[in-house]
Chain A
Amino acid sequence: MNIVVCVKAVPDPKEAGNIRIDPQTKTLRRANVPMVLNPLDKNALEAALQIKAAHITVLSMGPPAAGSIVKECLALGADKGVLLSDAAFGGADAFVTAHTLAMGVRKNGDADVVLCGMASSDGATEWVGPEMATILDMPVATMVREIISHDDTAWEVKAALENGYRRMKVRLPAVLTVTRDLNTPRTLSFSGIIKARKKKITQWGLDDIGVSAEMVGLKGSPTIVTEMRAIEKTRTVTFMEGTREEKAEQLVQKLVEVGVL
């Protein structure tokens, strides 16, 4: 079984608060926030690693620096790492990201299952999986929280709804997007890191995946950002002062006043 796992390099969600809109220039001010593997993509990779005898390719579109997260996936146990990187890919919205990744999946050949995270922590559209499925003419199940059974022809899964789940059978080849309830991702091991040193990352650009420059990156994106605004202060705060006990007493008083207590 050939599984492709789509993984994205995202600004570390723990420090993402340091990326702000500059109120003057109306552009993004990035403190040096490090790039990490998108949290939910770890669950997608873990799901693949738990399938016996699967050949796993991790696929990422991003700048050359995203090679580090592909390397991390190799160290976690993926067999092959592919980085789609080209100056022309920059500024892609969800639709062209899905298109570019789909062309990468196609070039890689014969995927039985394509796994994605339900959402990326920086884009969080949730579009890339289902849009890729459409472009590859595959069925999709989003928000998969349990894999009930799997064979070479179909997977039976539980896919989350806001107030329950759908139990569904999806014929292969298919795209699945996963939630964090699916599994607990393994962590890096020393031997994995050593083994991954020998694995090479395949890098493909525009020509390798056979797409025209009009179809990728900012140029190919149907949606564009036209404006950025910083939010002004909305309320004026009064701080509770004093010792911890005194502050707690004042807060209790406040909660009584507003009718919570």
Chain B
Amino acid sequence: MADNTNPIWVIADQESCSLLPVTSQLVGKARSLADALGADVEVVLLGDGVEAQAPTLFGSGADRVYLGNAPELANYHPDVYTELIVGLAEACKPQIVLLGSTSMGRELAPLVAARLETGLTAHCIDLDINADHVMEQIIPAYGGEITIVCPERKPQMATVAQGVFPLPAHDEGRSGEIVPISGPFTHKGRIEILEVVIEEPKGIPLDSATCVLAGGVGAGDSDGWDLMAQLSKELGAGLGCTRPVVDEGWAELETMIGQSGKMVSPETYLGIGLSGEQQHMVGISGAKTMIAINNDKKSPIFSQVDFGVVDDCREFLLVLLEKIREYREKQVSC
């Protein structure tokens, strides 16, 4: 078993040379875990032209940055990145490895974990060190939370979505050591990335919306979903959803809120036709006002909101849309 003071790792995630916020958030969390253990925080930073990001990582709490800087590393390549990280991990023996639940992290984490023959916990909402110096990984499930540990094998590995942990305050005075990773950055030729295409997001971005409307499977069908979309437009709210809505094909996976989707912090949250399952609710943090519409007065959602309407959402939304328009007309006329 590795030593308690072995380093804690964060695998950096960047796009066009700038770090994704989740990376700094994880470095901040890694710092507090490391302080509890008396360990160092180390970041593996791979890309092309990313060296300028090192001071940000130091300022967030990193002690050391392993820097792989080369044109071949510009885009994430599963085989190249896995090979580099596994090689480095075998040499440096980190006790913990954290990755963001980004599209890269979701693929890279299991590739690295399987090579290192260790455990991996998905989409954690909290991390802690217990009395045995083992990392406790908290995930929501079944109307509550469960704690998972990986006590025997090292490293202990976890992914965490962007927004779960706050951005750490940047400490200008902190500095650290940069350790360059030398190649080769070649691969077996079994995967060829032909192009990476960035698409324009549709609708109001959920991350920055001050009001978020989340619709659940209570919408009933795509017509019911259309009412949700109309209401969100009317309110200028970001439109999010629960998992079954994605399964039904009414909304895109990118708009799913929760543990394995987006984390949002609107001022006002409106949950309509959804049951308030933890896996969804952990995706909303810091909302001042929470409102729910559900046809079942006993639904668990009502113990998690400030205001509730018990009604069939499809019938109710039609009337609500009408009332909003009436309100608007009155505003204009006076």
State the A residues within 8 Å of B (CB).
13-14, 17, 19-21, 23, 28, 39, 93-95, 98, 119, 121, 124-127, 129-131, 133-135, 139-143, 156, 160-171, 174, 179-180, 221-231, 233-240, 244-245, 247-249, 251-252, 254-256, 258-261
Interface residues on B, range: 35 or more
* A235 in complex: contacting residue of B79, B148, B151, B290, CB < 8 Å: B290
Flag whether B170 is at the interface (Cβ < 8 A): no
Flag whether B106 is at the interface (Cβ < 8 A): yes
Residue of B nearest to A134 (CB): B114
- Interface SS of chain B: mixed
Stretch at the interface among B63-71, B176-184, B301-309: B301-309
> With A180-B247, A239-B308 in contact, is A248–B111 under 8 Å at CB?
no
Once bound together, how far apart are the Cα atoms of A244 and B314, in whole Å?
12
Contact between A139 and B113, CB atoms less than 8 A apart: no
Contact between A237 and B303, CB atoms less than 8 A apart: yes
Flag whether B265 is at the interface (Cβ < 8 A): no
Contact between B150 and A222, CB atoms less than 8 A apart: yes
> With A127-B120, A140-B107, A222-B118 in contact, is A21–B143 under 8 Å at CB?
yes
Shortest distance between the CB of A141 and any CB in chain B (Å): 7
| Chain A neighbourhood of B303, CB < 8 A | 233-235, 237
Among B106, B142, B193, B309: residue with most chain A CB under 10 A: B142
| Chain A neighbourhood of B192, CB < 8 A | 168-169
Flag whether B243 is at the interface (Cβ < 8 A): yes
Contact between B143 and A258, CB atoms less than 8 A apart: no
Contact between A248 and B147, CB atoms less than 8 A apart: no
Contact between A228 and B235, CB atoms less than 8 A apart: no
Shortest distance between the CB of B316 and any CB in chain A (Å): 6
Contact between A240 and B307, CB atoms less than 8 A apart: yes
Chain B contacts with A in 276-334, Cβ cutoff 8 A? 277-278, 288-292, 297, 302-311, 315-316, 319-320, 322-324, 327
Once bound together, how far apart are the Cα atoms of A129 and B113, in whole Å?
13
Contact between A258 and B288, CB atoms less than 8 A apart: yes
> With A131-B114, A180-B249 in contact, is A226–B148 under 8 Å at CB?
yes
| Chain B neighbourhood of A129, CB < 8 A | 110
| Chain B neighbourhood of A20, CB < 8 A | 142-144
Shortest distance between the CB of A121 and any CB in chain B (Å): 7
> With A19-B142, A168-B192, A231-B144 in contact, is A252–B107 under 8 Å at CB?
no
Once bound together, how far apart are the Cα atoms of A239 and B310, in whole Å?
8
| Chain A neighbourhood of B217, CB < 8 A | 14
Residue of B nearest to A165 (CB): B197
Contact between A139 and B191, CB atoms less than 8 A apart: yes
Once bound together, how far apart are the Cα atoms of A91 and B14, in whole Å?
36
* A124 in complex: contacting residue of B117, B260, B278, B320, CB < 8 Å: B260
* A160 in complex: contacting residue of B103, B144, B201, CB < 8 Å: B103
Residue of A nearest to B130 (CB): A226
> With A95-B114, A231-B144 in contact, is A244–B311 under 8 Å at CB?
yes
| Chain A neighbourhood of B267, CB < 8 A | 258-259
> With A139-B79, A162-B254 in contact, is A240–B308 under 8 Å at CB?
yes
* B113 in complex: contacting residue of A95, A168, A179, A235, CB < 8 Å: A95
Give per-residue flags for B14-44: 1 if the beta carbon is below 8 A from chain A beta carbons, else 0.
0000000000000000000000000000000
Once bound together, how far apart are the Cα atoms of A81 and B201, in whole Å?
41
| Chain B neighbourhood of A180, CB < 8 A | 246-247, 249, 253
